[in-house]
Chain A
Amino acid sequence: MSTSTTHARGVLRRGAVALVAALALVTAACSSGVSPSSTAPASPARTLVIGATAEPTSLDPTADAAAAGSQALLYNVYETLVKVDAQGQLRPLLAQAWDVSSDGLTYTFQLNPLAKFSDGSQVTADAVARNIARIKQEPVAAKLKTAMAVVDSTKVIDTDTLSVTLSRPSVNWLYEMASTAGIVMNPAGFATATTATAGSGPLTVTGWTPGDSIVLSKSPGYWGTPVRFDEVTFRYFKDPNAMNASMLSDQLDIISNLQAPESLAQFSDPSRFSVVEGTTNGEVVMGINNGGAPTDPSVPAGTGNPALADVRVRKAITMAIDKQALVNTTWGGHGKVIGSMSVPTDPYFEDLSGLYPYNPTEAKRLLAESGHSRLTLRLKPAALPYATKAAQFIAAQLQDVGITVQVEELQFPARWRETVYDRADYDLTIVAHVEARDLNTFANPNYYWRYHNPDFDALVTKADAGTVSDYASGMKQAARLLADDAAAVWLYVLPNIVVTKPGITGVPRDAQSLSFDVTTIARA
């Protein structure tokens, strides 16, 4: 009997211990508490919920090398002097007009005198100048610094007039000023930019739950045309199927870009969904290690197969791949096949996909001619769905022309960046290049392409220094030269597949900028 009593008491105590352990976690929940994202939910007609994939790690878009913050914040919360519209044209935003001097070196911007930051203070020429200085001097993403490097000096002429002098003429600079590098923040908010936004846009960030969502609310004193929603939520998904399920269960109004095109059939009911398919700036590229020596002594020489320095081998690889079949097999047939580092929305686009058409016989002949009929190459795709699927397809096709392919998937971004981008330790790789107008990466001998062609560099430099139309024709020549040289295998452009609930209008067909611009969107 005594044993039994001890047992019973023991049971209770042990039960209590387990209960305490379990409740410790639960009570931790109560005490730490999640900060409420916003106050009472607004009525459904005045809210918009957008599903997105690339979640920012900070509310400061300029701190983020991956440009994820710009999708939700650019144009919606932060504004720029000029913006890229749905047709890819530059339009006035904070600057109502601008002049370029005849030598192409000095830009004079007339700011809109009405423009105000969300705290009510005016967007002055001095504030813009301080933002340019911030990008040049403070620790922000390196590619923004590169974009701003061409700026020599700024001069505040009066409250609404700013002149910017460049060290060399650059057409591309103004275009960069329409993107993340050109964001004009309230200088009073510089110090706290990672956790609180200080923009001049029609919306302000009122809730941020990392790992889940960013909530934007209408800015009451906005200086321009207000948006049509009281509250806009960007919800972030790592898994495309989860995003689809959320849309199918009516939790989302918009899928900003469908990540699994083969799942498009789920949205075929026109009474519940409408689908818009356009194009993006993202070229899916099979990069080739061209074997050129970097000019920067601190950049590693790279380890690639020397056979790839032979243009015949590169052409053979291009001709061994049936790009349309690849798109059909790996990306549900969505995405336009391309032949150079340019997308249809570029002002200098030319369809070069037919330059080296699929022809395995010719590919074999070129390989034999170059003396590389038995070649073994290391293909190191980023471990992302589109890239790994394409890698399998390509490995099989290259096998058919006598090239043995060893596929090694690299976790993205850290592993890929370290192996391919930093050390150029690869023969072939696959990743999408999502930045706009990124043809000029081939003019950088330190870039992981390890491509060096003085003729190409001269074309790019000359194009950037000319007028807007010179720029287009010059870059077109450069793109063609690159394609002739088979400096990489350009596979296809990632499609921009937007799924919306019926009645939602004004969603741009093509993703022309990094922003998912909600200022044009309305709900019937």
Chain B
Amino acid sequence: MLRGLLLRLGILLASLAAASLVIFWITQALPGDVARVMLGDGASPAQLAAKRAELGTDRPFFVQYGAWVAGLLHADFGTSWYSTLPVTSLIAPRAAVTAWLVGGGLTVAVAVAVPLGAVAALRRRRLTGFVVSAGAQVGMAIPAFWAGILLSMLFAVQLRWLPANGYVPPGRDLLGWAQHLVLPVIALGLVQAAVLIRYVRSSFLDVLGEDYYRTARSIGWTRGAALWRHGLRNAALSLVTVIGLQVSALIVGAIVIERVFVLPGIGSLLLDSVSQFDLAIVRGVVMILATVVLVVNGLVDMAYVVIDPRLRHQERA
């Protein structure tokens, strides 16, 4: 088992190294000159050359890459080319906003998808099951940003119950923080829930065909009790995998939702930095996002080795 774990850890580290190289290479290969962007109109060639030397953008590729990776290992993402602030200090508060959004969205998605998915499976030949399945299909077709705009229009502009957009840190005003996050979290969570419902439904359908479920029913358990006791736990196996994979989809969704709701998260930082051509920030943010996705997937992989005896046997074979 140890060998399997080490193997997967090795794969994770190799993936991170490859990701860092690709990210650095792509941002390096982009057209455009940051010295020009920073100095603005009318900079002389001498000023430009001095700026390039100051930023180190005139050094060879692998020297720049090596310096960047060395910094990453100390959680030092370098200095923003545009504002000359440390990238870490720009990313940290914004990562917090995105984390609240993704965490909240995931919670909403699971809380909505599990019961509705169960209903869709149990009542699959009835109207309610059909309505849930059809609703999930429609939900999947709605882009998160559109859901966000609709929610904002209804609850903020028409009814004026909640703020249309913006963000207040929880340390400043806890109620205001919650009010500002309700709509974005729902917009993100509901669309993800629509995707999850289908997985929950098919997982439960598998369970319904299993011997242990039939046995539980035959000794007099109600459908609900049998499903709760045996179905949920077994269905959760595949669901956990799917949810792990969904984290990356949630992060992508969060980038869009942050734009719609003007949240100062990591996604809006990424978009702003791209348009400003601040590659120091772009690299840092993309590396963090890649790391989160790779680590979550890596953890799910490793968990299998620990949990599933069949995988352990495969390793030995």
Whether chain B is bound by chain A comes out as yes
The chain A residues found within 8 Å of chain B, CB to CB, are 4, 6-11, 13-15, 17-18, 20-23, 25-26, 28-30, 32-38, 41, 55, 57-58, 63, 65-66, 139, 141-143, 145-146, 194-195, 209-213, 235-239, 241-242, 245-246, 248-251, 296, 298, 411-415, 417-418, 421-422
How far apart sit A414 and B99, CA to CA, in the bound complex (Å)?
A: 30
A-chain residues with CB within 8 Å of residue B262 when the two chains form the complex = 212, 235-239, 242, 246
Contacting residue for B236 out of A15, A143, A212, CB 8 A: A15
Are A248 and B164 in contact (CB-based, < 8 A)? yes
How far apart sit A79 and B80, CA to CA, in the bound complex (Å)?
A: 27
| Smallest CB separation, A40 vs chain B (Å) | 9
A299 closest partner in B (C-beta)? B45
Are A58 and B84 in contact (CB-based, < 8 A)? yes
| Smallest CB separation, A381 vs chain B (Å) | 16
Are A21 and B307 in contact (CB-based, < 8 A)? no
Known: A14-B240, A418-B31, A418-B36. A33 touches B171 (CB 8 A): yes
Are B103 and A194 in contact (CB-based, < 8 A)? no
Q: Which of B113-148 contact A (CB under 8 A)?
A: none
How far apart sit A162 and B251, CA to CA, in the bound complex (Å)?
A: 56
Are A249 and B160 in contact (CB-based, < 8 A)? yes
Contacting residue for A17 out of B157, B163, B277, B299, CB 8 A: B299
Name the segment of B65-73, B186-194, B218-226, B265-273 touching the other chain: B265-273
| Smallest CB separation, A433 vs chain B (Å) | 10
Q: Which of A25, A238, A296 has the most CB of B within 10 A?
A: A25
Are B276 and A29 in contact (CB-based, < 8 A)? no
B217 contacts the other chain (CB 8 A): no
Are B265 and A211 in contact (CB-based, < 8 A)? yes
Name the segment of B7-15, B21-29, B56-64, B89-97 touching the other chain: B89-97
How far apart sit A372 and B107, CA to CA, in the bound complex (Å)?
A: 65
15 new A-B contacts at CB < 8 Å, known A21-B300, A249-B163, A251-B166: A10-B307, A14-B237, A17-B299, A18-B300, A26-B99, A26-B103, A57-B82, A142-B44, A143-B41, A146-B42, A195-B85, A211-B272, A238-B272, A246-B163, A411-B275
Contacting residue for A29 out of B39, B99, B157, B237, CB 8 A: B99
Some 14 contacts from A to B, beta carbons below 8 A apart, are A6-B309, A10-B237, A11-B233, A15-B240, A18-B240, A22-B107, A25-B292, A34-B170, A58-B82, A139-B54, A142-B43, A212-B263, A248-B164, A251-B163
B-chain residues with CB within 8 Å of residue A298 when the two chains form the complex = 45
How far apart sit A46 and B276, CA to CA, in the bound complex (Å)?
A: 35
B33 contacts the other chain (CB 8 A): yes
Are A415 and B96 in contact (CB-based, < 8 A)? no
| Smallest CB separation, A294 vs chain B (Å) | 12
A-chain residues with CB within 8 Å of residue B39 when the two chains form the complex = 65, 139, 141-142
Q: Which of A13, A21, A41, A65 has the most CB of B within 10 A?
A: A21
How far apart sit A9 and B306, CA to CA, in the bound complex (Å)?
A: 11
B303 contacts the other chain (CB 8 A): yes
How far apart sit A251 and B165, CA to CA, in the bound complex (Å)?
A: 9
Are B153 and A17 in contact (CB-based, < 8 A)? no
A-chain residues with CB within 8 Å of residue B33 when the two chains form the complex = 418, 422
| Smallest CB separation, A476 vs chain B (Å) | 25
Are B272 and A242 in contact (CB-based, < 8 A)? no
Contacting residue for A34 out of B80, B164, B169, B268, CB 8 A: B169
Known: A25-B99, A143-B41. A10 touches B308 (CB 8 A): yes
How far apart sit A236 and B241, CA to CA, in the bound complex (Å)?
A: 39
Contacting residue for A245 out of B51, B95, B156, CB 8 A: B156
B-chain residues with CB within 8 Å of residue A139 when the two chains form the complex = 39, 51, 54
B100 contacts the other chain (CB 8 A): yes
A-chain residues with CB within 8 Å of residue B163 when the two chains form the complex = 246, 249, 251
A-chain residues with CB within 8 Å of residue B228 when the two chains form the complex = none
Contacting residue for A21 out of B51, B97, B244, CB 8 A: B244
How far apart sit A246 and B94, CA to CA, in the bound complex (Å)?
A: 21
Are A414 and B276 in contact (CB-based, < 8 A)? yes
Are A37 and B92 in contact (CB-based, < 8 A)? no
| Smallest CB separation, A521 vs chain B (Å) | 21
B-chain residues with CB within 8 Å of residue A20 when the two chains form the complex = 299
How far apart sit A166 and B95, CA to CA, in the bound complex (Å)?
A: 50
B-chain residues with CB within 8 Å of residue A33 when the two chains form the complex = 93, 96, 169, 171
B-chain residues with CB within 8 Å of residue A241 when the two chains form the complex = 149
B-chain residues with CB within 8 Å of residue A417 when the two chains form the complex = 32, 36-37
A-chain residues with CB within 8 Å of residue B31 when the two chains form the complex = 415, 418
A446 closest partner in B (C-beta)? B42
Render B74-111 as a binary contact track against A, CB cut-off 8 A, 1 for contact. 00000010111100001011111111101100110000
| Smallest CB separation, A42 vs chain B (Å) | 13
Are B40 and A143 in contact (CB-based, < 8 A)? yes
How far apart sit A11 and B38, CA to CA, in the bound complex (Å)?
A: 53
How far apart sit A17 and B183, CA to CA, in the bound complex (Å)?
A: 28
How far apart sit A417 and B32, CA to CA, in the bound complex (Å)?
A: 8
Are B247 and A142 in contact (CB-based, < 8 A)? no
Are B260 and A239 in contact (CB-based, < 8 A)? yes
A-chain residues with CB within 8 Å of residue B244 when the two chains form the complex = 17-18, 21
B-chain residues with CB within 8 Å of residue A246 when the two chains form the complex = 163-166, 262
| Smallest CB separation, B13 vs chain A (Å) | 18
Are B237 and A212 in contact (CB-based, < 8 A)? no
B316 contacts the other chain (CB 8 A): no
| Smallest CB separation, B206 vs chain A (Å) | 13
Are B157 and A248 in contact (CB-based, < 8 A)? yes
Contacting residue for A41 out of B36, B54, B171, B173, CB 8 A: B173
Render B187-211 as a binary contact track against A, CB cut-off 8 A, 1 for contact. 0000000000000000000000000
Are A32 and B84 in contact (CB-based, < 8 A)? no
Contacting residue for A36 out of B149, B160, B172, CB 8 A: B172
How far apart sit A41 and B173, CA to CA, in the bound complex (Å)?
A: 9
How far apart sit A30 and B171, CA to CA, in the bound complex (Å)?
A: 10
A-chain residues with CB within 8 Å of residue B83 when the two chains form the complex = 57-58, 63, 194
How far apart sit A120 and B44, CA to CA, in the bound complex (Å)?
A: 38
A-chain residues with CB within 8 Å of residue B309 when the two chains form the complex = 6
A-chain residues with CB within 8 Å of residue B271 when the two chains form the complex = 238
List the 4 closest pairs (A to B, CB-CB), nearest first. Answer: A65-B40, A211-B264, A34-B169, A25-B99
B-chain residues with CB within 8 Å of residue A251 when the two chains form the complex = 163-166
Are A18 and B96 in contact (CB-based, < 8 A)? no
Contacting residue for B96 out of A11, A28, A41, A248, CB 8 A: A28
B20 contacts the other chain (CB 8 A): no
| Smallest CB separation, A256 vs chain B (Å) | 15
A-chain residues with CB within 8 Å of residue B41 when the two chains form the complex = 65, 142-143, 421
Are A245 and B247 in contact (CB-based, < 8 A)? no
Known: A29-B95, A63-B84, A251-B166. A142 touches B42 (CB 8 A): yes
| Smallest CB separation, B104 vs chain A (Å) | 8
Are B234 and A7 in contact (CB-based, < 8 A)? yes
How far apart sit A35 and B94, CA to CA, in the bound complex (Å)?
A: 11
Contacting residue for B93 out of A6, A35, A237, A411, CB 8 A: A35
B-chain residues with CB within 8 Å of residue A32 when the two chains form the complex = 92-93, 95-96
Q: Which of A235, A238, A242 has the most CB of B within 10 A?
A: A242
B30 closest partner in A (C-beta)? A414
How far apart sit A209 and B170, CA to CA, in the bound complex (Å)?
A: 13
How far apart sit A237 and B262, CA to CA, in the bound complex (Å)?
A: 7
| Smallest CB separation, B314 vs chain A (Å) | 16
| Smallest CB separation, B295 vs chain A (Å) | 8
A-chain residues with CB within 8 Å of residue B44 when the two chains form the complex = 142
How far apart sit A516 and B93, CA to CA, in the bound complex (Å)?
A: 28
B237 closest partner in A (C-beta)? A11
A-chain residues with CB within 8 Å of residue B47 when the two chains form the complex = 142
